[in-house]
Amino acid sequence: MSFVACMAVFSVNATASDSTFTADSPLSVGVSAISDTGYEAGISSSLDIGRNWNTVIGGGVSGRVKGMDRNGDGYMDSPETLDFGVSNQWKYLSDSGLSLKFGISAGQKGSKGGQDGYDSNTYSIHVPTVAGSDPWGSDIVSRYFDGYAGLKVPAGKDGAGYFAMSAEYSYGKKNSCVGSTVYNGAGHSASASFSYHGKIGRSHEVAVGMCGQFDNYDEFLERTVWNIFSPLTQGTDAVYDYGNAGIFGSYSFRYGEKVSADAELHGLWYSGHGFRLSPEISLGYSPAEGILLRASGARRLRYSIPLAENPGVFMTGKQFVGDYAGQNLEDSWSFGGGLEYHFRFGASRNTCLEFDYSRVQYVSQTIVDYEQNNNAVWFYALDGNRSFADIYRVGFTVDPLKRFTVSAGFTYTDAKIELRGKGLADKPMTSKFNGNVTLEYATADDKWMFGLSASVYGPCRVYDFMERLEDENGNRLYPGGMTPVYPQLDARVTKRFRKLELYVGGENLTDFRQEYQVIGPKGQDGIINPRAASFDASAVWGPLAGIKVYVGLRFSL
3-state secondary structure at position 89 = strand
Q: According to the model, what pLDDT value does residue 199 have? A: 92
CB 278 within 8 A of CB 304: no
* Residue 127: per-residue pLDDT: 61
Listed by start position, the domains of the chain span: 3-556
Rounded to whole angstroms, how far apart are CA atoms 46 and 478? 52
The predicted-structure confidence for 424-476, as pLDDT tens digits, reads as follows 899 999 999 999 999 999 998 889 999 999 999 999 999 999 999 998 888 99
Please state the three-class secondary structure of 257-318 as a single string.
CCEEEEEEEEEEEECCCEEEEEEEEEEEECCCCCEEEEEEEEEEEEEECHHHHCHHHHHECC
Give yes or no for a contact between 417 and 382, defined as CB atoms under 8 angstroms apart: no
The answer to whether 293 touches 286, Cβ cutoff 8 Å, is: yes
Strands 181-200 and 486-496: unpaired
Helix (H, G, I), strand (E, B) or coil at 79: coil
| DSSP-based helix, strand, coil % in the chain, nearest 5 | 5, 65, 35
Residues 360 and 334 sit within 8 Å (Cβ to Cβ):
yes
Q: Find the angle CA(67)-CA(63)-CA(507) to the nearest 5 degrees.
A: 80
Please state the length of the chain. Answer: 557
Helix ranges (H only) for 438-548 are none
Query: What angle is formed at CA 404 by the lines to CA 398 and CA 405, rounded to 5 degrees?
Result: 35
Q: Is 62 helix (H, G, I), strand (E, B) or coil?
A: strand
Beta carbons of 318 and 533 less than 8 angstroms apart: yes
| Phi, psi values for residue 312, rounded to 5° | -60, -25
Distance CA 4, CA 146 (A): 9
Alpha-carbon distances of 14 from 67, 108, 125, 373, 414, rounded to whole Å = 19, 14, 38, 39, 31
Alpha-carbon distance of 110 to 80, in angstroms, equals: 8
Contact 298, 284 (CB under 8 A): no
Burial of residue 136, with CB atoms counted within 10 A of its CB: 0-12 exposed, 13-18 middle, 19 or more buried: buried
Average pLDDT for runs of 10 along the chain of length 557: 34 40 76 96 94 95 93 90 97 93 98 92 71 83 98 84 97 96 96 96 95 96 84 91 97 94 98 96 96 97 94 94 88 97 86 97 93 90 84 96 95 94 91 97 93 97 93 91 96 95 96 92 83 92 93 94
Distance (Å, whole) CA 115 – CA 228: 24
3-state SS, 80-108, equals EEEEEEEEEEEEEECCCCCEEEEEEEEEE
Residue 130: predicted pLDDT:
55
CA distance 43 to 47: 13
H or E element in which residue 240 lies: strand 230-255
Residue (of 76, 57, 69, 64) closest to 32 by Cα position: 64
pLDDT attached to residue 18: 52
- The residues that bridge with 21 in the sheet, in sequence order, are none
126's CB contacts (< 8 A; 6+ apart) are 231
Give phi and psi for 150, each to the nearest 5.
-140, 140
Q: Would you state the pLDDT for residue 440?
A: 97
- CA–CA distances in Å: residue 29 to residues 25, 147, 502, 556: 10, 25, 12, 7
* Cα gap 546→70, rounded to integer Å: 8
- CA neighbor of 97 nearest in space, from 211, 197, 201, 208: 197
Any idea which architecture 3-556 has in CATH? Answer: Beta Barrel (2.40)
- List the 319-322 sheet strands across, edge first: 319-322, 376-381, 366-373
User: pTM score > 0.95 for this model?
Assistant: no
